[in-house]
Structure 1
């Protein structure tokens, strides 16, 4: 009003100042004296608000999982949104070429990088990759570690280690590679700069980690005895990244998940949430280390903040992709990791079915025989296949037909062309009553989808899509893994193991 001219803004600290008033040009954190949602409270969130761990969980569990604490109070919303870096990750990715995700659920690709340059520049290094799946009901999160040396197909680049996708094409190619390899749709992208990770741990006053065996890594300047240790940011980062233990890269994923669980516990503690200066310091350092896709705008963060308000340490499950080989000699003279395709298929099927991951490899395949039914499981040579090429690539049909025959399946005649040549996802089509046979075929073709068609006869049809990568013989996975004598540490982990965030913290 005109009556206030001449005040010079000197009444800013008074009670009549509108809520959340702040300069728009440079976001600033909320300060303790300001009212919290016009309740006349101090800057310390009340107990109900503190329980809204919202963005802390997704942030702390997302790899320093920084995104989420911000939603713990509406007073943080615009400041948080202004602090987070954003990148246009999904433009140019066409839905017709991408897998479909479970309705209502959200899956994040989280990448840890070790450079300080702006996100999206090819040539940076992706050091850590994980999938964070938030289920439709927002009462559970699955976090799956992807070994950085996984040997996969990178679209347009051929076979390479999965972390090379980021170096070749930044976040977009990383998303494409993970989607084509796992058949899991990525809804959001989160990138965490390791230089910021150090500051995040320090802002929380360090975290506690525990070791079953000593580590001595001169290159990382890390020497730790077996037992429990309080570590600052630098040592937490070295602890998360060293591979100088018997399990190599697989142990490394375990340690990263342990640090994330410790961060989550510390960030959700009353000691952090009830101390305005400590909370602001944590958010200020954490959010500056994070880059997200443009779809995670203020409105989306607000919505997530309310939806995940009841998530706790027991509601976050950690797992990693099961592998059969940790010392695969690549054509490029490097050593890579090869997945157990069948177990990985089951793991990602759990995510696509929006169910929690269990320690035996998942929530279970509804078509998988159990108990006395196991003897009725069809054999590959009892399944007659017709193969169709839906990609338009010359010779692809015969290539896949030969691979299926080599895997033990019976194939009828030469491969034929499908009526359309733009099939995106490989299909396994079957008549009613042949669901078990189709499920066995689908498990042998990673990423394929099973569809029932009442018009089909006794043959199971395989329609090759552009996502096709390989055929895995259904009985080829070893039951206990090879002898780990040859420098492979403890050997491959060819089954899924899962643990909660609470399980991962010391004590």
Structure 2
């Protein structure tokens, strides 16, 4: 008796099982790269988060602070210095800015506070505002700014200026237009009129120059604001976001030079980045606290603020109406052009 050969035709059940395996295999082929990419992103996020240094007790006691602003507007106090807070003690801040992020998230406003502004510092009398940072670190500086402007600071960030070197290199440098030739006698560098390319140490020299500029510290403020805007434009539109290596280099340099208050997490920064995803370099507007004069006090040059005009600007920050304030007063300076 001959035995029948098994049929080579799949049964309906086998065909159904095969059909079910096909989309599973296709899904795995499609999802595994995404899963791998997600794992890489999460791993890099861990690295970036560990790069950032955080300081505690940045903010004064609640009873000694201005009221919280209604709505979603936020104010960041940003300090630029030669090193991070806590490295060898406190130091005088080289630049002080308030980054006001309006509720609609359509723009970013940079309000510069001249570092030589002659103000009242709790426990130390009248002195230059950057001395508050040296006397009591971020907490005393936040307290001084809040008392000066009656504006609540939501977050604090300090940038080590040396990070500018690595950040500019990661971006391949940025270009700015210098409106007139300027010589830096301290470093024997001459910046010609016209477009200049800033990368690495040259970028640091450019944003740090004070002597040899017609407007002194005020021109340096404009240079720093212009450099920040140029970096933002390059990071957004220069292909950095689509170049994983360049993006990683930039984020490594940025996070390695940042110190923030303990309330800032990577989630905070990620959410803020998503909220500001439509902002471009031209949406970064800048101004400076109004100045009444630059006299000499106790043998040192100081900046006297115009109290009435400063109060108006502070009200615009507090009420989230800086856009209207700048439009009405022409207080915005073009930070794409520097001296």
Instruction: State the Cα deviation string for residues 119-167 of structure 1 (Å, max 9, x = none).
Output: 5x64323101000011122222211111111111111111000111111
Q: Give 1:236's aligned residue.
A: 203
Structure 1 gaps of 5+ residues are 1-13, 21-33, 38-42, 44-72, 365-494
- Partner residue of 1:280? 248
Deviation at 1:315, TM superposition (A): 2.5
User: 1:35 is matched with which residue?
Assistant: 37
**Residue pair 1:122, 1:168 contacting (<8 A) in 2 also:** no
Higher RCO by CA contacts (8 Å cutoff, separation 6 or greater): 2
Residue pairs, 1:364-375, within 5 angstroms: none
For the residue of structure 2 that corresponds to 1:156, the secondary structure is coil
Matches within 5 A, 1:442-457: none
The separation in 2 between residues aligned to 1:302 and 1:239, in whole angstroms, is: 30
**2:178/2:337 contact within 8 Å kept:** no
Q: Secondary structure at the residue paired with 2:302? A: strand
Aligned to 2:114: 147
Which residue matches 2:336?
504
CA distance in 1, matches of 2:246, 2:268: 25
User: Judging changes above 3 Å, is the alpha-carbon distance between structure 1 residues 188 and 116 closer, same or farther for their aligned structure 2 residues?
Assistant: closer
Superposition deviation, residue 304 in structure 1: 1.8
Distance 2:232 2:266 in 1: 22
- Out of 180, 184, 193, the position equivalent to 1:226 is 193
Do structure 1's residue 114 and structure 2's residue 82 form an aligned pair?
yes
1:270-309 alignment to 2 at 5 Å? 270-309=238-277
Write the deviation string for residues 207-259 of structure 1: whole angstroms up to 9, x where unpaired.
11221121111213321121111122222222212222111111111111111
Among 88, 100, 120, which residue is 1:133 paired with?
Answer: 100
User: What is the deviation of 1:102?
Assistant: 2.1
Listed one character per residue, the Cα deviations across residues 71-99 of structure 1 (whole Å, up to 9, x for unaligned) are xx7775444322211111435x2122111
Within 2, Cα distance between the matches of 1:277 and 1:190?
A: 25
Find the aligned partners of 1:321 and 1:246 in 2 and give their Cα distance.
19
CA contact (8 A) 1:317 1:356 kept: no
Q: How is 1:249-328 mapped onto 2 (pairs within 5 angstroms)? A: 249-326=217-294, 328=295
Moved more, 335-344 or 232-241: 232-241
Q: Tell me which of 54, 65, 72 is aligned to 1:86.
A: 54
- 2:73 paired residue among 105, 108, 112: 105
Q: Is the 8 A contact 1:130 1:143 kept in 2?
A: yes
* Bigger radius of gyration among the two: 2
Q: How does 1:387-398 map to 2 (within 5 A)?
A: none
TM-score (norm. length: structure 1): 0.56
Alpha-carbon RMSD:
2.6
Cα deviation per residue 1:450-507 (whole Å; 9 max; x = unaligned)? Answer: xxxxxxxxxxxxxxxxxxxxxxxxxxxxxxxxxxxxxxxxxxxxx762147xx6269x
Instruction: Look up the match of 1:208.
Output: 175
Q: CA deviation at 1:300?
A: 1.9
User: C-alpha displacement at 1:276, in angstroms?
Assistant: 0.8
Other structure's SS at 2:94 match: strand
TM-score (normalised: structure 2)? 0.83
Distance 1:77 1:110 in 2: 22
Higher helix share: 2
